[in-house]
Each structure stands twice: as C-alpha cells, then as structure tokens.
Amino acid sequence: MDTAFVLAASITDLGAARAARPHADIVEYRLDRSADGVDALRSYEGVLPVLATNRVEREGGKAAATPARLDTLETAVEQPAVAAVDVELSAIRNGRAGRVVDRARAHDVAVVVSVHDFEATPDRKRLRRLLRAADEHGDIAKLAVTAERPGDVLDLLAVTHELSTAGVPLATVAMGEVGRHSRAVTPLYGSRLGYAPVDPADATAPGQYDLETLRTLLDQLRGTPPDRPLRSTK
C-alpha cells in the first residue's frame, strides 16, 4: 500500500466522478445507496479509480446483511475500474466476507477493512485492538468512531500516530461535530484515506466536509497529495 494520503469522493452515481476529479484521488462508489449497481461499473469510463463499498445497515449503510450484498462486492472487484473494495471487519469475522477478500486478491484490488462505531469512541486499548484486527485481513485498516468530547479525538489521534509509526496502514476519523476537524487532521498523524461528498447534502457520515472544502484544508495543512490509486500489496 502506498504511503501517500488518498482522498475519496463518496458518490452514489458514477456520473458524479467528473465533478470530483479536480479534488479527489479516487471515488468511493456507494453501491448500497446507488440505483445503478454494478452495471454502472461495467460502463464506467472515468479517470478516477473506484473504491467499491456496499455498506451494511448496522454500520451506517443501506444494504441488508445478506449473501447477495457480498455477491455484489465480488462482482465489483472483477471490474477493471475498481482499485479497492471495502469489507467490514464484522463480516470477515462471521466468516461470510472471506470470499470477497480472496476475490479482491486475485484481481489485485486493495482491501479496506472497516469498523464503524456510531455510539462512542472506545478507549485506547480497544482502538488499538480494532485497528490491528482489521490490519490482519486487509491492506488498510479503517476505523470511524463517534467523538462525544475533545478527549475522544485526542485518543484517536494518539493511537493513529502510534500504529502508523509502527507500520500499520490505516484510516481513522472521529465522526460528529466534535470530531469534524479530525477529517483534516488525522492525515498529519498517519491516516492514509479520507472521505467527503461532492455535495454536502449527500453526506454519508456525521460531520463530513464537502469535497472541495476538505481538499482545501488538507492542502493547507500538508500540501497536495499525489494522484494515485489504492493497490493491494498483500
């Protein structure tokens, strides 16, 4: 996995990739929120590579936890435009999503293993444990938590810095208004992947900046990252 920070534009219509291009490095195609499904990937001719996500309901998405959801992801990783796929750690642990990871490996598609907590921010010990567990299965470990107080953000930043320095490729964010600034700040501590909607009305998680705003903040804090797709290294 490349060490450069990658900014993903979260979209439900691949036609929006053109508008995302000036600011994004990759587009996160939310299959769980799209009416076009995998068919749109087959005909996609955009410049930006695609991160395919079919988020389950209990982790903030709209897809039911059925075998069909994972079938969709398996088909998605076979499409040439797809550079990365998101698979929840919970789905891997219950034994259902291993086939998606295997298919991704076979097609040189990077695997983002994600965990979402919409209730709170766990203590540092659990933050470490979740990120290391996700890292065991994927190319990048993603952890999104909900900040209820400023100290929650500090805990997340500390663990992000600690594990990234130790060589764990990760992406972290504190959701909600209290943690909103973390979307621009966590990259300074080693987070490699961020998300933003092109239009703020299309936010897919609490506290998201719109794409142009987040890119501006990131550029001001650390300079413009290179335009590179995510690729599997495991």
**Res 2: pLDDT:** 46
Residue 125 in any domain: the answer is yes
Per residue in 140-153, pLDDT (tens digit) is: 999 999 999 999 99
Does the residue 33 lie in any domain?
A: yes
1, part of any domain: no
Q: Does residue 230 lie in a domain region?
A: no
Q: Does the structure show a pLDDT above 90 at 225? A: no
Residue 230 pLDDT more than 70?
no
**Domain residues for 99?**
6-222
pTM above 0.75, yes or no: yes
Instruction: Say what the pLDDT of residue 147 is.
Output: 97
Name the domain count of the chain: 1
Just list the catalytic residues.
116, 142
Residue 135 belongs to some domain of the structure: yes
Query: Would residue 112 count as lying in a domain?
Result: yes
**Residue 1: its pLDDT value, please?**
37
CATH of the domain at 159: 3.20.20.70
Token pair belonging to 163: 């594990």
Asked, for residue 104, whether it belongs to a domain, the answer is: yes
Residue 79 to residue 43: CA distance in whole angstroms: 9
